[in-house]
Chains A and B, each alone.
Chain A
Amino acid sequence: MHIPDGMLSAGVCAAGYGLTLLATGYSIKKINQSREPARDIPKASLLTAAFFVASLVHIPVPPASVHPLLNGLLGAILGYYAFPAILVALFLQAVMFGHGGITTLGINAVIMGFPAMVCSIIYRRFKNSEQSSISHSVLSFVTGSMGTALSVILFVLILINFIPANINAEAEKIAIYTGAAAHIPLVIIEGILTAFVLNYIRKVKPELLDTNF
């Protein structure tokens, strides 16, 4: 779900970079206020690498397979590091695999990063250590599916609205609905997967969820 180079006008790309600059600036300000940024940077970077690798895992959805976005999960675990982590991962994906692009890096960071920030706030606001397993699973499902759902909405709206052409309004509406509907299974899969992963981490390594990045 990355927009490649050349699809959007220079103005939209510049606006994407502007929003990314604001979000990165805000995240870095918060990171600098933490007690030990030098200790947290390697931790956040290794987790970014782990997320990068984990997003390449193909989840079977017979007869095909999908690879997860994991931006909701990333937001829940990395907190203020989520946006910089997504920016770094998108840059590396653009350079290494050609997913996304360099001129569209800002707009792709907005599509993936803003939902991760929202998920981070929601998960950290409602999570507590005495929570039952069921309510934690529900919270995790909502976090995971919301991350993907918001990204899909942003992706489809940006792509359809800013493709520079005289596209028929009716066709544009159909494309938006079709694009969004096609991603509904992915939204559900992400929710289920995030719930499984967060429950697993809660049992095996709860301090990973309590780390105050």
Chain B
Amino acid sequence: MEISAKADSKSNTIFHQWEAESKLISFILLMFSFAMIRNIELVIIMILVSAVMFFVSGISYSCLLNRWKTPAVLVLLMGLMVLFFSEGQILITAGSLTITREGLLGMIILISRVMSILTLIVILFETTPFLDIITAMHNLGLPKILADMTLFTVRYIFTLNWQLKQMKKAIILRGFIGNKISSWKEYAILIGGILVRSFEQSDRVYKALAIRGYSFEQIRSAPAGWDSRDKTMCYSFAVLALLISSIQVYLNIPGV
């Protein structure tokens, strides 16, 4: 997923038109309600909700699959651990390994939850320009230090990454072979070099900002007005999140 000032401009779905502040609140509520899910009955609802949202968002499958791939190894390892080492009603025994009903359900719930929340994250960040997200977070109370640091960091990641690649290319041309343990010192110099360069560059950046009037005052931009569609979407998401959480709390009561 790439950070850009614009969201995917090819689509113009309801998620793309949704105002960032109310969208952020709604998605976070829904993500946390998904994180609460412990019962297989609610897993079906969770998968349905995230699948419907994904189809409405018009995002490509490849984008979603790329996002699912990243945590796959860790999630699979934890899923297998839950599958084979959970106590409960034994379903299958193969040698020293046993699969219990609780283990099987636990693994299904864990993997479904990870995939559903990741789907929501893909929808949120693919349909909202990054700058709008940071502005919305700032308007919702994110301290100026964090908002400024996020924007400055994003601005310079790509520049510094390019510089690092150039530095690496330069030392390779001077005979550096980077695949041996003995090359750790060269890697350390590479890392130290990029830190020193960024430190030197930061002074120039500050001076350039200062003459353009940059200061440390907490200024919030005027909150974008929520139109009736934004309000309807936000309330619908909040009700859905509340419903899922309430059902989960009810199902957690012993004896239910």
Contacts and interface: CB of A to CB of B under 8 A. Distances in A.
Interface of A: 4-10, 13-14, 24, 28, 31, 37-39, 41-54, 56-57, 59-62, 65, 68, 70, 77, 84-85, 87-89, 91-92, 94-99, 101-103, 159, 163-168, 171-172, 175, 189, 192-193, 196-197, 200-201, 204-205, 208, 211
A166 B106 contact: yes
Given A6-B116, A57-B190, A41 B145 contact: yes
Contacts of B85: 167-168, 171-172, 175
Contacts of B149: 41, 44-45, 48, 84-85, 88
Interface in B131-187: 143, 145-146, 148-150, 152-157, 159-161, 164, 178-181, 183-185, 187
B153 A5 contact: no
- A interface: dominant SS: helix
- B interface: dominant SS: helix
A161 B156 CA distance: 38
Interface residues of B, number: 88
- Those 5 A-B pairs whose CB atoms lie nearest each other, nearest first: A196-B188, A45-B152, A6-B114, A4-B71, A171-B85
A42 B194 contact: no
Contact of A53 (B38, B88, B110, B161): B161
Contact of B35 (A9, A24, A39): A9
B196 interface: yes
Contact of B146 (A14, A24, A62): A24
Residue with the greatest number of chain B CB neighbours at <10 A, chosen from A6, A13, A101 = A6
Contact of A47 (B31, B202, B209): B202
A150 B210 CA distance: 39
B224 interface: no
B117 interface: yes
B110 A88 contact: no
A103 B152 contact: no
Contacts of B227: none
A38 B88 contact: no
B251 to A, nearest CB: 13
A39 B118 CA distance: 37
Contact of B154 (A61, A62, A92, A98): A92
